[in-house]
Amino acid sequence: MNIFDIKSPSDIKSLSYAQLEDLAQQIRIFLIESIAKTGGHLSSNLGVVELTLAMHYVFETPQDKFIFDVGHQSYVHKILTGRAPLFTQLRQYKGIAGFQKRKESEHDAWEAGHSSTSLSAALGMCVARDLNHASYQVVPVIGDGALTGGMAMEALNQIGSEQRNMVIIFNDNNMSISKNVGAMDETFTRLRTSKPYNTLKEDLKGALSTSKMGKSVLESMKNIKNAVKENVVDTSIFGDFNLDYIGPVDGHDIRRLIKVLEIAKRHDGPIVVHVLTKKGKGYPFAEEDKEGKWHGVSQFDPKTGCSLSRMPNGQKSWSEVISSTLCDLAKDNKDIIAITPAMKGGSKLSAFFEQFPMRSFDCGIAEEHAMTFAAGLAASGKRPFISVYSSFLQRAYDQISHDVARMDLPVVIGIDRCGLVGEDGETHHGVFDIAMLRHIPHMILAQPKDGDEAQQLLYTAFTQEHPFALRYPRGNTPFHKVDTYHPVRIGSWSMQKIMETSKLCVITYGDNVDKVISKARINGLAITVVNARFFKPLDEEMLNSICQMEEPVIIYETDMLAGGLGSAILEYANDHGYQKHFVRIGIDDHFVEHGSIPQLKKLERLDINTLCDIIASYL
Ligand SMILES: Cc1ncc(C[n+]2csc(CCOP(=O)(O)OP(=O)(O)O)c2C)c(N)n1
Ligand SMILES: CC(=O)[C@@H](O)[C@H](O)COP(=O)(O)O
Ligand SMILES: [Mg+2]
């Protein structure tokens, strides 16, 4: 069978094991060749080819509900639900998403992008099903990384007490994005390497489920089930949550997977199927990767494995600018400690981890814990730097407010991937953090306009005694190491007149500042550009003079309008009795889809050309 002939999962149900294995091979080749052209999440998908085939062989979507945790490993599911022809547009503007998307297919029961939501969602669906007296199965697929997330643990706690029918597939590839971390990973390793419990469990479960005895008799055999638990389940962490368990099962053996899933499907109550898979399976570069380089990739040459994207000369990624500065500062300041919740590679903290192993902590997918861990360090005299992607920082809102800011602790928060992030789309755009942090007392929130300012602001963050969040986007910036560090006055903005006869003022921040300046120079625009590098506190002196300007003032934001810089300025102007009208450009009340950053900026009318048209309409 050709993968382009698959219109629905029922098309694979009549295939023999050999045909399924052949299909698995085809899917792997397709994934590698297709993702090489579009970019996307390669390794995790290569790892779940047989598993997803077996799931669709045994269960019936859309009646049964598949929930892929994070959703980055749902490509095979997309292929098996008739979406292979759409992979040319994977994660592209108006193309199919890189995660499950409900509006894309009736087979996508859930949407995510953030980790560890699958089990809570699954329990919600199970309870709704039971209240509706329906009988479909709910099948969350959760990885060993996602399973370490706090939400997953909270869900297991309730799932164990609710005892609803649910087949939890524990997709264990012994990797998060890079190497998994934490004590639980060691528990998983013990499980991975233990003797499979299958024979005993299957025999007993099989006997129970195929028995002609009625349910009441089965219930009276609870003591047998309990015996199973004593002999088998209690040795696993899942047993402690009162969940039944089958495994570990070779996740690349389709025949075995189908057999085990058939048992799990008939099982009464929640059951965990522990499946061992290999991240990157079938593509040697990805199989050998321990750093997570093949987790999410941009375009590459499938033969050589070489990336096709090049860093422009003299530039560095924003993450690298921050992390290399952090390394530099940490040489002199022995109290600086680096923390990442499972994003060491993406945050470019690997160099810090190598240079300062005793002062580096990967907390796993645990943004909430990581933030309070940082607060504890700061309360004890250390100077923690915690790097979190803007979108994932949403998980740690309470910890920032309750544990960091309330005690006014000097935690430095590096907010990576702020603003629009591109192809990951809705779930990952970092456009909410300004609104999220601006109203928290004691918080300082800033964004550098370029690599130099990034270094000075990070230095500044460590010279003061309050919580300090520094946001920086995905992408690159011109970089050279500054000769000397000097503190930036907290709350200070800067202003640059492009022409002496300025007729309009643009207030903006981040790398927008230089973009507006250079465009204004090229187009001969008589404007003034303000670098509002601090969102909190505001530069009140400069704002007073701006509020008294007669010429139009445009606030140009590339994040949410509500609660953003413009909101802050309007509040200030109103509260200080100014009548000034401001023109606000930014993202209004909706989630932004996926696509390249330039395409999305254009879509949202946030690109520099649209800004120039707006400026021109006022001049
Ligand atoms: C809340 C949150 N934090 C961090 C991430 C980034 N992230 C995406 S996938 C992933 C690793 C997941 O590991 P696992 O569940 O084992 O899946 P695998 O990639 O191994 O298939 C991480 C950390 C995220 N999506 N959501
Ligand atoms: C699925 C997920 O959350 C991550 O893999 C994310 O896609 C990484 O983003 P970056 O590519 O910006 O590091
Ligand atoms: Mg994993």
Closest CA to 531 of 459, 440, 450: 450
Alpha carbon distance 244, 268 (integer Å)? 9
Interval 162-189 mean pLDDT: 93
Q: Give pLDDT tens digits for 338-394.
A: 999 999 999 999 999 999 999 999 999 999 999 999 999 999 999 999 999 999 999
CB 416 within 8 A of CB 318: yes
CA of 113 to the centre of ligand 2 (A): 9
Active site residue 255: no
114 lines ligand 1 (CB under 6 A): yes
Tell whether 459 and 532 lie within a shared domain.
no
Q: Choosing from 83, 101, 279, 293, which is the catalytic residue?
A: 279
Examine residue 537 and state whether it is found in any structural domain, yes or no. Answer: yes
Tell whether 459 and 504 lie within a shared domain.
no
Examine residue 565 and state whether it is found in any structural domain, yes or no. Answer: yes
User: 320: domain CATH number?
Assistant: 3.40.50.970
| 495 strand-pairing partners | 530
User: 543: domain CATH number?
Assistant: 3.40.50.920
Is the pLDDT at 214 greater than 90, yes or no? no
Dihedral sign, Cα of residue 591, residue 597, residue 602, residue 607: positive
Alpha carbon distance 619, 613 (integer Å)? 10
Higher confidence at residue 303 or residue 619? 303
Tally of structural domains, the chain: 3
Tell whether 284 and 322 lie within a shared domain.
no
Ligand nearest to the CA of 421: 2
CA of 49 to the centre of ligand 3 (A): 14
Tell whether 398 and 258 lie within a shared domain.
no
Tell whether 144 and 221 lie within a shared domain.
yes
Please state the ipTM of this predicted complex: 0.99
Tell whether 468 and 532 lie within a shared domain.
no
422 lines ligand 1 (CB under 6 A): no
Examine residue 489 and state whether it is found in any structural domain, yes or no. Answer: no
Active site residue 540: no
Binding site, annotated residues for thiamine diphosphate? 72, 113-115, 145-146, 173, 283, 367
Examine residue 428 and state whether it is found in any structural domain, yes or no. Answer: yes
Last residue of a domain, one of 236, 268, 297: 297
Tell whether 153 and 229 lie within a shared domain.
yes
Instruction: Say what the pLDDT of residue 237 is.
Output: 86
Would you place residue 188 in the very low, low, confident or very high pLDDT band (cuts 50, 70, 90)? confident
CA distances to 209, 253, 409 from 373, in Å: 47, 41, 12
Last residue of a domain, one of 478, 508, 541: 478
Q: Choosing from 50, 367, 368, 453, which is the catalytic residue?
A: 367
Examine residue 308 and state whether it is found in any structural domain, yes or no. Answer: no
CA of 174 to the centre of ligand 3 (A): 5
Residue of 114, 115, 424 with the most ligand 2 atoms within 8 Å of its CB, for mutation: 424
Binding site, annotated residues for Mg(2+)? 144, 173
Task: Show Cβ contacts of residue 352 under 8 Å, excluding neighbours closer than 6 positions.
Answer: 323, 326, 327, 330, 338, 359, 360
Number of residues that make up the chain:
619
Interval 526-549 mean pLDDT: 98
Is the pLDDT at 196 greater than 70, yes or no? no
Last residue of a domain, one of 478, 504, 536: 478
Indicate the range of 35-39, 212-216, 257-261, 614-618 predicted with least confidence.
212-216
Alpha carbon distance 184, 187 (integer Å)? 5
Tell whether 261 and 192 lie within a shared domain.
yes
Is the pLDDT at 113 greater than 60, yes or no? yes
Q: Give pLDDT tens digits for 219-269.
A: 433 433 443 444 344 457 898 999 999 999 999 999 999 999 999 999 999
Instruction: Say what the pLDDT of residue 189 is.
Output: 84
Q: Give pLDDT tens digits for 84-99.
A: 999 999 999 999 999 9
Q: Hey, is 298 helix, strand or coil?
A: coil
Tell whether 281 and 362 lie within a shared domain.
no
Examine residue 304 and state whether it is found in any structural domain, yes or no. Answer: no
Ligand nearest to the CA of 100: 2
Active site residue 395: yes
Tell whether 14 and 138 lie within a shared domain.
yes
Indicate the range of 265-269, 336-340, 421-425, 585-589 predicted with least confidence.
265-269
Examine residue 424 and state whether it is found in any structural domain, yes or no. Answer: yes
Domain that holds residue 391: 315-478
Tell whether 424 and 529 lie within a shared domain.
no
* Nearest Cα residue to atom 1 of ligand 2: 72
Ligand 2 site residues (CB inside 6 A) read: 70, 72, 177, 295-296, 346, 417, 421, 424, 474
Tell whether 209 and 177 lie within a shared domain.
yes
Is the pLDDT at 213 greater than 50, yes or no? no
Examine residue 484 and state whether it is found in any structural domain, yes or no. Answer: no
Cβ neighbours, 10 Å, residue 452:
16
Q: Give pLDDT tens digits for 24-78.
A: 999 999 999 999 999 999 999 999 999 999 999 999 999 999 999 999 999 999 9
